[in-house]
A = this chain, B = another copy of it.
């Protein structure tokens, strides 16, 4: 499927509410659960999504749209949430994510992006030239990847509890 703004936005605008329903008020045995050492809990993942709202998607789009001579993106800090989420409840993080996402989608909408602009490029630290269209499609895919990850992390907590059904639930061993 090609990326287009309306279809992509339909996912981006739903993610905060999806996560609020999935995680809001859930016991900490679920929201602090991980897949093992150095893997992320739902709590950590929400912090990571917040960092993306602040530092990744819109700031990189702005670099592209500025059409400057230096269009290098700032490298993304994959561990920022361990610092930035400190002292915050999951409820606070979910609200913060919803607020930032709404702001960012308002910014995106205010640009009235044309196909020409969507074809402009920035310079990714690892990949080199990437288009604004690819950046925005990745924003969508990144959301969905982390929604799937949250569900998987939670599911695996019952890997043993389900007994022989483990053979029928591939998520338990993914």
Interface residues of A (CB under 8 A from B): 1-3, 6-7, 10-11, 14, 17-18, 20-22, 25-27, 29-30, 33, 124, 126-128, 130-131, 133-134, 137-138, 140-142, 144-145, 147-149, 151-152, 154-155, 157-158, 161-165, 167, 169-172, 174
Contacts and interface: CB of A to CB of B under 8 A. Distances in A.
The main secondary structure of chain A at its interface with chain B is: helix
A20 to B, nearest CB: 8
B2 A27 contact: no
A157 B128 CA distance: 23
B33 A11 contact: no
A76 B94 CA distance: 37
A165 B127 contact: yes
A115 B124 CA distance: 56
A165 B134 contact: yes
Contact of A164 (B20, B124, B164): B124
